[in-house]
Structure 1
Amino acid sequence: MSTPCLELVIYKIKDAEKARAARRAAQELVKTYDGFLSWTAYDACEEAGLVADAVLWRDIDCAKRAGDRVMKHPVFAGLMAEVDGMVSMAQYQADRTVTSDAVAA
């Protein structure tokens, strides 16, 4: 059984609109990769130009293979051109998940 892998990338961008368009193009590319489960793109609430991408993979091997592929693909180059600095990039495996006990009304 494989263990899901969360890839969390936090970075600064140059131009919000260009970066948004480039990130969406990259999402369309990556969703075709083996082991891809989801990609949620976040914009910082209180710091302009700071974004985070949370990409969920079937396992760490799929995440690593995808990382090798995206760095060579021209579609992904558009996103990289809008990056103004990397804050953090790493893959994670879940230790524990808790959910709310609240019941929807």
Structure 2
Amino acid sequence: MTAQHVLELAVCTVTDKEAALVARRRAMLAVSRYRGFISWRAVTACETMDMLADLVEWETLDAAQAAGERVLTDPEFAPYMATISSVKLMQHFLTEQQI
């Protein structure tokens, strides 16, 4: 049986949406090289103009947590972090069902 992957959901508000979108692309490229990375789906809220969400898939919870520590000091991630005014949700999840 294959190990279950971990989904990381981060929802935040940003100070400058256009700058955040550019910085997020740079952050995505950096994180795509991290150990255990599988995918990153970047979305923007329809009704709240300054809200973004990121759904990142990791091989394991350990890989997700290690990445969480690494982004704090990764210069490629810093510009994205600088645009974030508040984090509404940052949580790891396991898939219960999928159709």
Residue 40 of structure 1: aligned partner: 41
Determine the C-alpha separation between the residues in 1 that align with 2:33 and 2:53. Answer: 21
Residue 101 of structure 1: aligned partner: none
Determine the C-alpha separation between the residues in 2 that align with 1:21 and 1:46. Answer: 20
Q: How many residues align?
A: 98
Q: What amino acid does structure 2 have at the position aligned with 1:51?
A: L
Determine the C-alpha separation between the residues in 1 that align with 2:29 and 2:83. Answer: 17
Q: What amino acid does structure 1 have at the position aligned with 2:47?
A: E
Report 1:45-64 matches (<5 A). 45-64=46-65
Q: What's the secondary structure of 2:3's corresponding residue?
A: coil
Gaps of 5+ in 1: 99-105
Residue 90 of structure 1: aligned partner: 91
TM-score by length of 1: 0.89
C-alpha deviations, 1:47-105, integer Å up to 9, x for none? 1000100000011111011111111111111111100111000000111112xxxxxxx
**Deviation, structure 1 residue 18:** 0.5
TM-score by length of 2: 0.95
Q: Rg bigger for which structure? A: 1
| Two-structure CA RMSD over aligned residues (Å) | 0.8
Gaps of 5+ in 2: none
Q: What amino acid does structure 1 have at the position aligned with 2:26?
A: A
Moved over 3 A (4+): none
Identity of paired residues, percent? 37
Q: What's the secondary structure of 2:77's corresponding residue?
A: helix
